[in-house]
Structure 1
Amino acid sequence: MTRRLLLVHAHPDDESITTGGTMAAYAAAGSEVTLVTCTLGEEGEIIPKGLGQLGSWAADQLGGYRSWELKVALRSLGVVEHRFLGGIGRWRDSGMAGTAAATHPRAFAGGSLGEQAAQLREILDERRPEVVITYNSSGGYGHPDHIRAHEVTMAAVREVPSVRRIFHIASGGGAVPVADGGATTEIDISAHLDAKIAALRAHATQVTVNPPVFALSNGVPQPIAEVERYMLVHGPADGAETDLFGGL
């Protein structure tokens, strides 16, 4: 029987940084892996100087460019099922709290939670995943869009009987570990590091890759780890685990 996994992320590149190896591993094993991306990441900083005019402060074309980067990244990970929440462009990157972007009429973090949860339920009903992954209540590092992605996911899954297990991201293969909680499940991605590295490279506006490390726009090197970690927050537990599906 085919196993079905669905992940909810806030912006293009989040999926590759925090869960890319996991997605590649389960896709390679024949599982149906679906990614839901909530915004186009329009407010992201831009690393390559030659692309600076794509930013929201100039041509405001970064979202479209990042959607192309995401398409390339998913091809590297072997993932074919992808949805933008509410359709491409429905929700906009909210930026950090207190910025002008947070007041945009399509800002994801300021949108209707009920509408967003209903949009995600439609995807969940279509894809019928047994396992769902998203951020914890702090969004990992406090970004408003990550927090809203958590809220939307937890609201939506309540009414979806196919979902047997829910995980929060506990670390991201080199990304800063989350603040609240450890890990129940560790996924060995060592056999899929090449796929993850290729996906990270696809997000060139946001990520610089120099294995065994990568860096975001702040230039701080972070290791590309061989394990991605998760916290089981709903569903049957089998103790220390190395499989998101456990005994399902």
Structure 2
Amino acid sequence: MTGPTWGTADRRLLIVHAHPDDESIQTAGVIARYLDAGAEVTVVTCTLGEEGEVIGQRWAQLVADGGADQLGGYRILELTRALSILSPSARVLEPHFLGGAGRWRDSGMAGSPAARNPRAFTRAGDEPVELLTDLIVERRPQVVVGYDPAGTYGHPDHVGVHRVSTEAVAAAAERGWSVSKHYWSVSERSAVVDGLAAAVDRVPAGWRMPADGELPSYPDDQITTEIDIRAVYERKVDAMAAHATQITVAPSRREYALSNDILQPIPDAEHFILVRGQAHPEGGRETDLFAGVVDDGSDDAPR
């Protein structure tokens, strides 16, 4: 059996994330929806998330700080399970680690000792850009999704993903493949506010509601694109639950918490800001990441 011929599907989507679980929290609905529609989807993960905290006691000794430092390997399994949940049974998506699994290490939160590790993603220089550029040229996605300049919530690896994806999209254009549309994955403010309001009477024991402004979001008028994920919502929640060392899903299945036990809503749409390419339709929010993509993106996309 031969492998896939990259760049031949009508729609090709490449999504870049920092750690295992980011794909499920931020873009699981989009992954499942476009896989179901027959699109070619590549999910790129840049580290194994070795510096993450662990929820509960079962796997607590896998942590890096004072533990076995085996968490990264276990999170490969969680990512594999999550992508399998999001995939059609006949076409299961496999993880793709930039540079190979373990090439770069989770840099930890800002100011942590992990950032001084020579293998930390934040110390990788231009190599991630070069490798992601190669992948874009090889797989020829019309659409690339990355992060905003703040890296969603300021984690250094998320900020690094913003830099790497932005520079790789530009470099790929110089090498002959111009991505038609480049998006930032973001949270819509009203979706966050409405989700928190709905959850106020069902906060699980030991969790707390976030303080005003504690959860990052963008004003509604800055959102260019809204993807309805209701048809795949349950798979998104199951994919999030597959990252059990990192995520606890509330009994309502409408909220979740990380190891900090701060409640966060799970909206039934995923939101994006278009930063390269032409938004469609004019004057309204897009409802399809591929809106306006005519063919291969190599000739008509802005450079």
Bin of the TM-score, shorter chain as denominator length: over 0.9
Opposite residue 187 of structure 2, the aligned amino acid is S
Q: Equivalent of 2:222, from 159, 170, 182? A: 182
Equivalent-residue separation in structure 1 for 2:63 and 2:86 (angstroms): 27
Does residue 47 in structure 1 map to residue 55 in structure 2?
yes
Equivalent-residue separation in structure 2 for 1:224 and 1:179 (angstroms): 16
Equivalent-residue separation in structure 2 for 1:179 and 1:49 (angstroms): 35
Q: Equivalent of 2:255, from 204, 209, 213? A: 213
Following TM superposition, by how much is the alpha carbon of 1:179 offset from its aligned partner in structure 2, in angstroms?
Answer: 5.3
Residue correspondences, number = 247
Equivalent-residue separation in structure 2 for 1:53 and 1:71 (angstroms): 21
Structure 1 unaligned runs (5+)? none
TM-score between the two structures when normalised by the length of structure 2: 0.78
Tell me if the contact between 2:51 and 2:63 (Cα under 8 Å) persists in the aligned partners.
Answer: yes
Equivalent-residue separation in structure 2 for 1:81 and 1:159 (angstroms): 26
Does residue 141 in structure 1 map to residue 160 in structure 2?
no
Following TM superposition, by how much is the alpha carbon of 1:16 offset from its aligned partner in structure 2, in angstroms?
Answer: 0.2
- Superposition map of 1:79-118 within 5 A: 80-112=93-125, 114-118=126-130
Does residue 61 in structure 1 map to residue 106 in structure 2?
no
Following TM superposition, by how much is the alpha carbon of 1:116 offset from its aligned partner in structure 2, in angstroms?
Answer: 1.0
Q: Equivalent of 1:222, from 250, 258, 264? A: 264
Tell me if the contact between 1:169 and 1:178 (Cα under 8 Å) persists in the aligned partners.
Answer: no
Equivalent-residue separation in structure 1 for 2:144 and 2:247 (angstroms): 26
**Seq. identity, %:** 52
CA change 1:82–1:128 in 2 (3 A) is farther
SS where residue 236 of structure 2 aligns?
Answer: helix
| Residue deviations 1:118-166 (CA, integer Å, cap 9, x gap) | 1111211221100000100110111100000110011111132241100
Structure 2 unaligned runs (5+)? 1-8, 196-214, 294-303
SS where residue 23 of structure 1 aligns?
Answer: helix
Opposite residue 110 of structure 2, the aligned amino acid is A
Opposite residue 215 of structure 1, the aligned amino acid is A
Partner in structure 2 of residue 163 of structure 1: 179
Tell me if the contact between 1:42 and 1:93 (Cα under 8 Å) persists in the aligned partners.
Answer: yes
Equivalent-residue separation in structure 2 for 1:126 and 1:80 (angstroms): 18
Equivalent-residue separation in structure 2 for 1:97 and 1:212 (angstroms): 29
Opposite residue 98 of structure 2, the aligned amino acid is L
Two-structure CA RMSD over aligned residues (Å): 1.7
SS where residue 67 of structure 1 aligns?
Answer: helix
The structure in which a higher percent of residues are strand is: 1
Following TM superposition, by how much is the alpha carbon of 1:192 offset from its aligned partner in structure 2, in angstroms?
Answer: 0.3
| Residue deviations 1:166-211 (CA, integer Å, cap 9, x gap) | 0001218869444588210000000001110110111000000121
Equivalent-residue separation in structure 2 for 1:209 and 1:178 (angstroms): 20
| Residue deviations 1:49-84 (CA, integer Å, cap 9, x gap) | 121110002100000000100000000111515311
Equivalent-residue separation in structure 2 for 1:19 and 1:203 (angstroms): 14
SS where residue 149 of structure 1 aligns?
Answer: helix
Partner in structure 2 of residue 202 of structure 1: 242
Does residue 150 in structure 1 map to residue 162 in structure 2?
yes
TM-score between the two structures when normalised by the length of structure 1: 0.95
Equivalent-residue separation in structure 2 for 1:167 and 1:47 (angstroms): 31
Opposite residue 230 of structure 1, the aligned amino acid is F
Does residue 242 in structure 1 map to residue 287 in structure 2?
yes
